[in-house]
Amino acid sequence: MPAHDLFPLAGLEAVADAQHELVAVALRPHPTMDAYDTALALCGYPGSGALAPLDRIVTLADPLRVRPEHLPLLPPSNTVFRIPVDALEDAATRKHCAALAGQGYRLQADGTAGFAQIESGISGLARDMSAVLPQLPPEWALLTMNGPHWAYGIADVEHHAVCRAAGFHWFSGDPARWRGPAAGDGTSRKRLLALLALLAEDADSRELEAVLKQDPALSYHLLKVVNSAAFGLATPVHHFGQAINVLGRRQLQRWLQLLLYARPQPDGPQDPLLPQAAQRASQMEALCRLQGGGRERQDLAFVTGVFALLDVLLGMPMADIVAALRLDMDVVAALLERSGPLGELLALVEQPVPDPARVAAAGLTHEQFWQGQLQGWQWAIQVGRNLR
């Protein structure tokens, strides 16, 4: 890694709708890096089109910095500008914002609602809900704007419900804190652990099928994935033997690991942990490959990422979950202690904003970290589409 890595370093915050489906990502640059310069560099990076199905939220501390030559990198079709309300006190800034709105950009005002936002072309509000729920905007502010309105920093399930009832459309924060209590009874948890154990032991497909048949919701989602447009099958798949042939053992195992998070009823909302599990698993795999890890090592990295949220999903201590599975010891150390190479990589991808020192310690450049993030989000988007 070069002594001075000038490539911008940033994290991506998942933003979901009321059904917990991904709708946007918010760019979170490292504090030492300029937010707008980072956005321009990363949005123009080859491969960043993988994020195109989602809106991108870009923070504008100074909207006057947006110049005509920048706009091709920030198309209005999927760019949302978040603007601190203090910036709207300046008349020139308000005029510039109104011009951006006239070009089709959606602008969110972050702060207390005011009439200055109306003449600025603001279409939505953003609010920080971390720690203590702040005073919500007056009803008129939400009703007179098209949105989307974004509540970020959701602290718990109560905050989520209050913001949803107030009229917010988009939500972000730590889904482990606002998804509510773990669902399922003891029998369901034992069945999940039995399935995970069989997967870890590379069990015969008939053994997997026997467990899957006991879990209608999981069975439904697996067949839905195989029959999705992503595979383009001419003839629908109706049983697990066919599914295994279509996916292959490696892909089947990966989808089953992710489908553990698709536990709600088929017509119910998605579990908010699913996008996070998918994104982390695929990012872990990509970063492991960039470190020089072979296919088997990449598989272990993927498993580490997808299993890291099982304690939240099942409402059980991670030690009890690991005890029921036959996992590689490197994976065990990573899940229990965040130790060893896989544990250090997991701790890195769990950071909301990546630490340059940890990126360097992992033997990665800032650009490689961004490449890994892109692969992770591309996979999360695909998973979300296939499980709708």
The domain boundary residue, chosen from 159, 178, 197: 178
- 3-state percent helix, strand, coil for the chain, nearest multiple of 5: 55, 10, 35
Do 127 and 14 share a structural domain?
yes
Full residue range of the structural domain in which residue 82 is found:
10-178
Query: Considering its fold, how many domains does the chain have in total?
Result: 2
Q: What's the CATH code of the domain at 106?
A: 3.20.20.450
Q: Flag whether pLDDT at 287 surpasses 50.
A: yes
State the pLDDT at residue 11.
Answer: 96
Q: Is residue 3 part of a domain?
A: no
Q: Is residue 219 part of a domain?
A: yes
Rounded alpha-carbon distances, angstroms, from residue 229 to 25, 236, 348, 388? 24, 11, 33, 12
**pLDDT tens sequence across 306-329:** 999 989 888 889 998 888 887 899
Q: How far apart are alpha carbons 325 and 316 in whole angstroms?
A: 14
* 183-192 contacts at long range (C-beta below 8 A, 24 or more positions apart): 183/263, 183/264, 184/263, 184/314, 188/215, 189/314, 189/315, 189/316, 191/215, 192/260, 192/314
Do 377 and 259 share a structural domain?
yes
Do 67 and 14 share a structural domain?
yes
pTM for the whole structure: 0.88
**pLDDT tens sequence across 124-183:** 999 988 866 666 776 666 767 888 999 999 988 888 888 888 889 999 998 888 776 655
**pLDDT tens sequence across 27-64:** 999 999 999 999 999 999 999 988 989 999 999 999 99
Rounded alpha-carbon distances, angstroms, from residue 305 to 60, 129, 248, 320? 32, 27, 21, 18
**pLDDT tens sequence across 11-33:** 999 999 998 899 999 999 999 99
- In which element (H, E) is residue 244 found? helix 240-259
